[in-house]
Structure 1
Amino acid sequence: MMRRRTTLLAGCTTLVLALTATACGGDDVSAGGGDKALSGQTVTVAGVWTGSEQANFQKVLDAFSEQTGAKTRFVSTGDNVSTVVGSKIEGGNAPDVVMVPQVGVLQQFAEKGWLKPLSDTTRKSVDANYSTAWKTYGSVDGTLYGLYFKAAHKSTVWYSPDAFSRAGVTPPKTFDELVKAGHTVSDSGLAAFAVAGQDGWTLTDWFENIYLSQAGPEKYDALAAHKLKWTDASVVQALTTLGTVFKDKQLLAGGQKGALNTDFPGSVEKVFGPKPEAGMVYEGDFVAGVAKDQFGRSIGEDADFFPFPPVGEGTAPVVSGGDAAVVLKDGKNSDAGMKLLEYLATPEAAAVWAKAGGFLSPNKKVNLASYGDTVTRATAKSLVAAGDSVRFDMSDQAPAAFGGTKGAGEWKILQDFLRDPSDPARTAAALEDAAAKAYRG
């Protein structure tokens, strides 16, 4: 899915410092094989990706086929991964591998007994090449079921340097400065933000960055686990802050109605397409892939970014996400599917998509030279360097009924909030009601 995925900082240095450490990329490593041992088998892979993401992942699958002889077939699920995969299992047509974009869905699949534990080969690769956080996100009750292949840094705001230059603004350092810069951009003739309100997941990402910065990591973790109710004053405060953007028609391309009719690719087009309507679009590094592949933008030159700025007295947020590959027990070629995961765990597999663009890997051994531009290299280095300090996307950690279902739960409630942001307390109560039902279920 375009969902939950990363490039960084106007001046990557700031983000690198914010994430503290540095990371080093190793040499690309051969996945081995090449003996066509899987000739005659077809591995079916299901995932949310479409467009350029699907096309670039297909290059990875093609490389796997070249080495092993296996054929691959990718099936796009749309956003409702759990529903689609569940129906395929019930119908006797289960895919072999699913690229799961949410921790909550991975946990749900494991609890239903649908997943195979990962092979010793894959586990060894994860132990050697990934931070503990990614192993934790891929595990349920201590068993590793998911391999995080694609990661995202979701605390980035993308902007048109030309729009900023014409408005006479520079990348802001605080949330208040962000709103002020947005009004200045608007005064120059463009809306400040293109908001993809048609895709509810983008709205959860807006909230999470504000909440992590404003409320802090401890409350973020508690809310993610539903150990803190959504009616807590900290949630109402974050919604109030978010509402300062959503209620201001001057800041939104097309106003609330226009935002609700804009999907994620459309939001990128409104900033970097042939007829710009806005100066900024908030989302992860995957914005770069759309801006580059669909609109021919040069990353770092006519499409750039700055880190999502700190709110009030808080620190700058660092929210991540990712897609975990899992193997279904009921897949007709699940053994071959496991071999695909062994390949995906290698730096070589990640390098295929890294060279294509619009991709970050949490694998520490991926050679940074594989990434096609200096901005993405700095982003990838920073993500790896962040280690266990990154906070995973909150809605991705929730049960799918709350955090990952189109037209329901958090996605729908925040769309309603975008439509009418006048009562944050009422929105918080609706979120708590939906969360309580989902977590009980």
Structure 2
Amino acid sequence: MISHHYRRAIVPIAVLGIAGMVLSGCATSTGGTGDTSGPGDAGEADGIVTIYGTISDTEAELLEESWADWETENDIDIQYEASKEFEAQVSIRAQGGNAPDLAIFPQPGLLADLASRDYIQPAPEGVASNVEEYWSDDWAAYASTGDTLYGAPLMASVKGFVWYSPSQFAEWGVDVPTTWDEMLTLTETIASTTGSAPWCVGFGSDAATGWPGTDWIEDLVLREAGPEVYDQWVSHEIPFTDPAIKSAFDSVGEILLNPEYVNAGFGGVESINTTPFGDPARALGDGTCALHHQASFYDGFIQDPKNGNATVGPDADIWAFVTPSIEAGGNAVTGGGEIVGAFSNDEDTIAVQEYLSSAEWANSRVSLGGVISANNGLDPASASSPILQEAITILQDPSTTFRFDASDLMPGVVGAGAFWTGMVDWINGKSTDEVLSTIDASWPSE
């Protein structure tokens, strides 16, 4: 999710054509002043601020640890609730008058949907000031609808890493691929050498099942068709049925639909949908799986003691390379991130939202491990993990072409709905043409 800066050093990451229908330009509004009307507390501070999001388990514990000292100092009790059905439930709760004070949105498109229906408060001045100081115009645009800023970015990740064991590569005499074709050759070599499927894949994520598959497609659209076509796809200037999108599905299918290549440690192709996305971390750690496609945040899953406590690094148990481009030397990556939006506008909620948009919070959370942030007040040394440092290096490279996760920018009914279920249907055997037609038909009419 991301472009990185440090102490006002602007990094020229290419993030153009940000989301057409969903996000229309950078934020020029300073947001609200804390006195706007809206759902939730509407001005009554009670010393408690509720936050709703998708971050769970160990990551949720780290999130709560990141603001614990601030809570004590400011006498505000932050109550975080994780939900695996966030994408569906946050809208239901907003419509039913039971919205949290704050929500952490993984999809800017979903935030934009709710903002367009006046459920989300415009960002108060303190948050808007932090966004202006610590975040790029691109990130401000992700948190905006039209010219109004509705939230502040939170954490970030670089997507499209392929995780592997350096010792296994050495044993098999294979190298990290530099092109997509080389990665296909690598896959075939490992399959022939070991007699088993190289890739482990998990699309399972309860109500959000299917989202890891969209990351594969987005990587291939950007690498095969280029950033301009990617932007046109995000804004629906070209439909899902466009040949460029079908080509990306065909390329991904060379791996995911091949029973000789998946699903190491879990079954055949059909097991992809029923394998929770975090479970391949264990298969990587114990050597059952040779290759796994997942974002930089997966570092935390791999090193989690519950998954075997494997180490991550160039010379450690597990390392990663970025999904290679079609031609050698390509430098396009996708990423994602979260946006914190407010349903309430009381003094306590505003204070917490402002803190979460600050450099102070970014350094607190990143220093605990597992994540990075695009906050330009972040000290890179706070990221102690080698893969997170690698992610920052990629993002700070001026030659990097970066694009935000496409499904996260699309309208929620598409990006957090039909695209996810379409990936599940595709794995289950539905034809590519039928899947693409169904997804495209879900796009809201103007």
Could you list the runs of 4 or more consecutive aligned residues of structure 1 that deviate by over 4 angstroms after TM superposition? Answer: 17-20, 384-389
CA shift in 2, pair 1:18/1:61, >3 Å: closer
- For residues 42 and 251 of structure 1, what CA distance do their matches in structure 2 show? 50
Q: Could you tell me which residue of structure 1 aligns to residue 273 of structure 2?
A: 260
CA shift in 2, pair 1:89/1:233, >3 Å: closer
Pair 1:171 & 2:176 matched? yes
1:47 maps to which of 48, 53, 71: 53
1:386-441 deviations in Å (ceiling 9; x for gaps): 69952111111112211113xxx1111112212327x4333322322233xxx228
- For residues 139 and 191 of structure 2, what CA distance do their matches in structure 1 show? 40
Q: Could you tell me which residue of structure 2 aligns to residue 29 of structure 1?
A: none
1:137-171 deviations in Å (ceiling 9; x for gaps): 00111111121111111121111223322322121
How far the C-alpha of 1:375 sits from its partner, in A, is 3.3
Pair 1:155 & 2:138 matched? no
Query: Any idea what SS the aligned residue of 1:306 has?
Result: strand
- For residues 189 and 12 of structure 2, what CA distance do their matches in structure 1 show? 27
CA shift in 2, pair 1:287/1:240, >3 Å: same
Pair 1:398 & 2:407 matched? no
How far the C-alpha of 1:306 sits from its partner, in A, is 0.4
Q: Could you tell me which residue of structure 2 aligns to residue 415 of structure 1?
A: 424
Pair 1:424 & 2:439 matched? no
Q: Could you tell me which residue of structure 2 aligns to residue 117 of structure 1?
A: 122
Q: Could you tell me which residue of structure 2 aligns to residue 296 of structure 1?
A: 309
- For residues 279 and 323 of structure 1, what CA distance do their matches in structure 2 show? 30
Q: Could you tell me which residue of structure 2 aligns to residue 351 of structure 1?
A: 363
Letter in 2 for 1:162: S
1:145 maps to which of 135, 141, 150: 150
Letter in 2 for 1:200: G
- For residues 377 and 162 of structure 1, what CA distance do their matches in structure 2 show? 21
| Kept in 2: contact 1:159–1:303 (CA 8 A) | yes
| Kept in 2: contact 1:413–1:430 (CA 8 A) | yes
| Kept in 2: contact 1:308–1:316 (CA 8 A) | no
Q: Unpaired segments of 5 or more residues in structure 2? A: 4-10, 15-43
Pair 1:278 & 2:289 matched? yes
| Kept in 2: contact 1:308–1:317 (CA 8 A) | no
| Mapping 1:76-155, distance limit 5 Å | 76-81=82-87, 83-155=88-160
- For residues 45 and 129 of structure 2, what CA distance do their matches in structure 1 show? 26
Q: Which moved more, 1:345-354 or 1:282-291?
A: 345-354
Q: Could you tell me which residue of structure 2 aligns to residue 371 of structure 1?
A: 383
Quote the RMSD (CA, aligned, Å). 2.6
**How many residues are paired up?**
398
- For residues 45 and 180 of structure 2, what CA distance do their matches in structure 1 show? 55
- For residues 334 and 292 of structure 1, what CA distance do their matches in structure 2 show? 39
CA shift in 2, pair 1:350/1:193, >3 Å: same
Q: Unpaired segments of 5 or more residues in structure 1? A: 7-16, 21-37
Q: Could you tell me which residue of structure 2 aligns to residue 34 of structure 1?
A: none
Query: Any idea what SS the aligned residue of 2:202 has?
Result: coil
- For residues 352 and 404 of structure 2, what CA distance do their matches in structure 1 show? 25
More helix by share: 1
Percent identity over the alignment?
25
